[in-house]
A and B are shown apart, each in its own frame.
Chain A
Amino acid sequence: MDLNLTDEQRLLRESAERFVAESYDADHRRKMANDPLGFSPAMWTQFAELGWLALPIAEEFGGLGGGAVEIGILMDAFGRGLVSEPYIATVVLGAALIERCGSTAQKQAILPKIADGSLKLALAHSERAARFDLANVATTAHKTAQGWRLAGSKIAVLDGHAADEIIVSAHIHDHQGPSGRIGLFLVPATTPSLAISDYERLGGGRACNIELSDVQLPEDALLGNGHAALAAIEWAVDRAMAALGAEAVGIMQVLLDTTLEYTKIRKQFGRPLSANQVIRHRLADMAVQVDEARSMALRAALKVDSDPVERARAASGAKAKIGRSARFVGEQSIQLHGGMGVTEELEVGAYFKRLVAFDTLFGGSSHHYGRHARLGRTTVPA
């Protein structure tokens, strides 16, 4: 039992925090918000040079073999600067699914390119009718003589507009009809009859909706043998939630620090706001919640390789609790900044919006407390 950072992890944290502090500021964020890509390809190249894109990929595929704790360290730093590069989409979700489900040939073709920054991925899984139920997929993949024919609609695809390849989930229909299995398909962004409509994402970055109208794909578009994709999606999303939780902690820490400084400087009734007990206690509650969130993000990261139920409960527990803390810390940061808190002039609002997006992504607190409860039942109701 040891929760202290190793020397390597400490170095990673220091270099990530330094890089983010030097490279990301309000001007950069505003520029990216108005950019059609929503992030900077030059930064992405630097991520590759720093080894961050290779971080979780196995060494045999050009990666560094890092784990969820290292990803969390990086994400915490990204949160502090509201980094909008497609790290979750490409590295945390994309590379993980390729590594877990892909054939050796697919891994060899894709993973080294992710590591060197020359290829970006996205996961198109969510559908409007499914809400946050990962098992609910209406998109279909029919087996054809040449390969596959995909049809359906996907929403909230993170960074899909920037991806070179999109991983699409679909129910497999083979020659006998519906197989009952979900498969993951690699769809090049340039594929005809793939309609991508992208939009600005709340809190920075972009996302898109995708229409697949009879998209024709070759045989080897299917990731691996097409088995156990749902379990892999749940696994990858749990990992992504742990990573996003760490990012939320970084965001919350900035909001706490910023708000604390403001309450020391801002004077009303002849004294600083922070001289009032009601304000001091509010800030104490915010600090407690940031600390609890930090514990939960770390816990989820340390349990990503546990058995599926333990992993999922740790991820859902973290998502639910950090989601609540994020709303509290974000909303109170605005409250304590008074009228200025609701303006676009301050960065507080931008950080708050990223937290709201965090809480929504992959399901909010109620959804995840519910999932945690369902998975925790020791007996099945009669």
Chain B
Amino acid sequence: MDLSFNAEERAFQDEVRGFIAKNLTEEMKRATALTPSVFSDPDIGMAWQRTLHSRGWGAPGWPIEHGGPDWTPAQRWIFETESARAGVPNVNVMGVKMVGPVIIGFGSAEQKNFYLPRILSGEDYWCQGYSEPGSGSDLSSLKTRAVRDGDDYIINGTKIWTTHAHHANRMFALVRTSDGPRQQDGISFILIDMKTPGITTRPILTIGGDHEVNQVFFDDVRVPVANRVGEEGKGWTYGKYLLEFERGSGIASAKLREGLKAIAELAESDLTGRAIDSPDIATRISEVEVDIDALEMTELRVLSALQTGQNPGAVSSILKLRNSEIRQAVTRLGADVIGHDALAVEPMRPLYRLNHEPPMPEEMLTVVPEYLNGRAYTIFGGTSEIQRDIIAKMMLGI
């Protein structure tokens, strides 16, 4: 057993560091640091996607024949870790990490040829149509319906919590094409052009003051049957496959560590009157750091298992659960560390393009919005309660 990387991996680490140092602009870095929502705005995120794509690193998890870099799990770990350390923007996760793997796994040759290059290049920006107002945790009760009409489906219904629907030109959605004996039956996985007539998008502001999510309405939206991925009625299987990717991409600790580092730096700064000199704050920083250490170690254990072709199983639910809980602990700590400045609200967005003096030092601008928006971490991608159900069922067999 060995925690250190071998010479080849260290050389790769240098290569990644060098690439990021050379290509990550100050503007991208500042914009990322001053984004209090989960995702970077597309002007920032897609610029980085194009940069990565130019190097052949546009889709780290994809197989080589579809433009992936053919990295080992350790290389992916190094890439994600170095990216987090450097503070690179979030790229379009819904494209690269969610719909991409589904198209690769279940899409037709035409779909692969058309969509995958556009995800890699950043030409397409994807959003995810899963939740509905009446279908949250009980996702498979979804009611948005696609009725066959010749070579088209006609879609009616609504999707909610749709991240960046207002930016996206494409959506992948779970829709009901029939009613089976189980509610999971009769769901299909459809790719939708957001410019299709009949689609309207309503913004939803989150409690941190950000416009990140939306409700999307479908009124007689005509989508070609050719846009269905895989078999009709088998969408639930594909959708669950995607959720496993969403939860188990499995490299979250480096980002958490950077988040904690920013808070610890504030705590050691005169801006907070050296909050760290309070033993309570110092101990809480350690508690969170140790939690991150444990998560990182679990990620590395999973990575080691993957390297030898083992299946990590339900551990992706443990990773999702702990990542979201620790993320919230980091942001809660941040809100406590900045003291009186936690009372001030800066309502303008984006925070990296303010045209006035904000009511607090720039380093603190995202702290409270991140805490508030961060309550969503234990809700999206399957709530913590759903993760515990999965752990009980898959790991404990009850």
Contacts and interface: CB of A to CB of B under 8 A. Distances in A.
A299 B297 contact: yes
B322 A288 contact: yes
Nearest to A291: B318
A187 to B, nearest CB: 37
Given A320-B290, A378-B268, A4 B308 contact: yes
Nearest to B389: A280
B282 interface: yes
B304 interface: yes
A302 B293 contact: no
A179 interface: no
A370 B282 CA distance: 8
A181 B298 CA distance: 41
Nearest to B314: A287
Given A260-B398, A274-B398, A302-B3, A372 B289 contact: yes
B1 A4 contact: yes
Tell me if B's interface is mostly helix, strand, loop or mixed: helix
Interface in A255-301: 260, 263-264, 274, 277, 280-281, 283-285, 287-288, 291-292, 295-296, 298-299
Contact of A292 (B287, B294, B305, B307): B294
B276 interface: yes
A260 B398 CA distance: 8
A366 B282 CA distance: 12
B305 A4 contact: yes
Interface centre among A1, A2, A373, A374 (most CB of B within 10 A): A1
A288 B398 contact: no
A96 B200 CA distance: 70
Interface in B254-296: 264, 268, 274, 276-277, 279, 282-283, 285-287, 289-291, 293-295
A5 B308 CA distance: 11
Given A1-B74, A292-B298, A284 B388 contact: yes
B315 interface: yes
Contacts of B308: 4
Given A287-B391, A369-B286, A69 B298 contact: no
Contact of B283 (A1, A274, A370): A370
A3 interface: yes
Nearest to A285: B388
Contact of A317 (B5, B264, B293, B392): B293
Interface in B69-119: 74, 77
A366 to B, nearest CB: 8
B301 interface: yes
Given A317-B290, A321-B290, A281 B301 contact: no
A1 B304 contact: yes
A5 B1 contact: yes
A277 B392 CA distance: 9
A292 B294 CA distance: 6
Contacts of A15: none
B396 A376 contact: no
A225 B122 CA distance: 67
A99 B396 CA distance: 43
A287 B396 contact: yes
A295 B392 contact: no
Given A292-B294, A370-B283, A9 B1 contact: yes
B395 to A, nearest CB: 6
A283 B297 CA distance: 22
A377 interface: yes
Interface centre among B9, B301, B321, B385 (most CB of A within 10 A): B301
A283 B396 contact: yes
Contacts of B286: 317, 320, 369-370, 372-373, 376
A260 B395 CA distance: 11
Given A288-B318, A296-B293, A372-B286, A4 B392 contact: no
A180 interface: no
Interface string A6-26: 100100000000000000000
Contact of B291 (A314, A321, A366): A321
A62 B282 CA distance: 45
Given A4-B304, A280-B398, A377-B268, 9 more contacts: A1-B2, A280-B388, A283-B392, A287-B391, A287-B396, A288-B318, A291-B318, A317-B290, A369-B283
| CB-based closest 6 A-B pairs | A295-B297, A280-B392, A3-B304, A284-B391, A284-B388, A317-B290
27 contacts: A1-B3, A1-B5, A4-B304, A6-B1, A9-B1, A260-B396, A260-B398, A284-B391, A285-B388, A288-B318, A288-B322, A288-B391, A291-B315, A292-B294, A292-B295, A292-B298, A292-B322, A295-B298, A295-B301, A296-B293, A302-B1, A302-B3, A366-B283, A370-B286, A374-B282, A378-B264, A381-B274
